[in-house]
Amino acid sequence: MSASPYFSGRHVFVAGGTSGINLGLAQAFARAGAHVTVISRSPDKVQAAADGLRALGAQALGISADVRDPAAVEAALRQAHARFGDIDVLISGAAGNFIAPAAELSPNGFKTVVDIDLNGTFHVLRLAYPLLKKPGASIINISAPQGVNPTMYQVHACAAKAGIDMMTRVLAMEWGGAGVRVNAIAPGPIADTEGMRRLAPSPEALAKAVASVPLQRMGTLQDVAHMALFLASPQAGYVTGAVIPVDGGAALGGGRDMRASYQPRGA
């Protein structure tokens, strides 16, 4: 992915953009010539991410902010706006997750994930809206297969991501008239990410995760970045309100695997 005439000089703001999938997205837009702002909690991660984006030749701004704090999000957005102007592409991907059976999940454990993923996405989108370049702006939320697939020990993430999927559709309707498109990407298992380290912490769990993907491989940061670059581009100018899996078919889910019980007719 190299400099593109379309993204050159555009302002891309990535909430939760300092590691993993979201940093991969920030880097893809940086390589395409955009000015990139990333925010997250850890000042060290913010600094490292912004330095890395500059090393790619981009103008970059890193700001420490917690998406659960609307005042901090608003201050970050204003600082980014003062530096790079109206936001052309807004990506909301800050998230937290862990495996926990619902019966053992404390109220604060459930609330924490919903606050980061769902409420955080609302704060980011709602506070960025006045600062978006309208018409033409593109918003991309980062969802997950849990948004549509009921997943045991993931009641917090399932509830939060399903909420993000619905927020994507509602705001696509509310903001379409202003020329703002709102979509979401639901990545499947992406290699070498914190999410997979938490959800598939052993080689066996990882192998099982790959086996559940029809394309039989983990995804890459590039797989997700290609979709984001498309969604933010004029080529996707008539796409809004879509929650798009980039998951090798994982979200197809399917019922119980019957292959082991299959007996060819007449055998």
Name the token pair of 8.
Answer: 């050159």
The interface partner of residue 21, options being ligand COA, ligand NAP, none and the CB cut-off 5 to 8 Å by kind, is ligand NAP
Total residues binding ligand COA (CB under 6 A): 14
Q: Which is nearer to ligand NAP, 178 or 191 (CB)?
A: 191
Contact by Cβ (8 Å): 114, 161: no
Helices (H) and strands (E) in the chain — how many of each?
9, 7
Specify the DSSP class assigned to residue 132: B
CB 127 within 8 A of CB 68: no
**Closest CB to ligand COA among 198 and 208?**
198
- Shortest spacing between CB 179 and ligand COA, in angstroms: 31
**Distance from CA of residue 255 to its chain's centroid?**
27
- Considering only residues 146 to 185 of the shown chain, the ones binding ligand NAP according to CB under 6 A are none
Q: Does 106 bind ligand COA (CB under 6 A)?
A: yes
Secondary structure class of 145 (helix, strand, coil) = helix
Task: Determine which residue in the list 1, 3, 6, 41 makes contact with ligand NAP, applying CB under 6 A.
Answer: 41
Q: Does 96 bind ligand NAP (CB under 6 A)?
A: yes
152 touches ligand COA (CB under 6 A): no
- Does residue 164 contact residue 121 with C-beta atoms inside 8 Å? yes
Least CB distance from residue 47 to ligand COA, whole Å?
18
Strand, coil or helix: 136 = coil
Judge contact between 251 and 244, C-beta under 8 A: no
Residue (109 or 241) nearer to ligand COA, CB:
109
Among 70, 109, 241, 249, binds ligand COA (CB under 6 A): 109
Please choose which of ligand NAP, ligand COA, none residue 22 contacts, taking the beta carbon within 5 to 8 angstroms, the exact cut-off set by kind.
Answer: ligand NAP
Question: What are the Cα distances from residue 34, in Å, to 3, 86, 88, 138, 262?
Answer: 8, 13, 10, 14, 53
Q: Rule CB under 6 A: which residues touch ligand COA?
A: 95-98, 100, 105-106, 108-109, 112-113, 194-195, 198
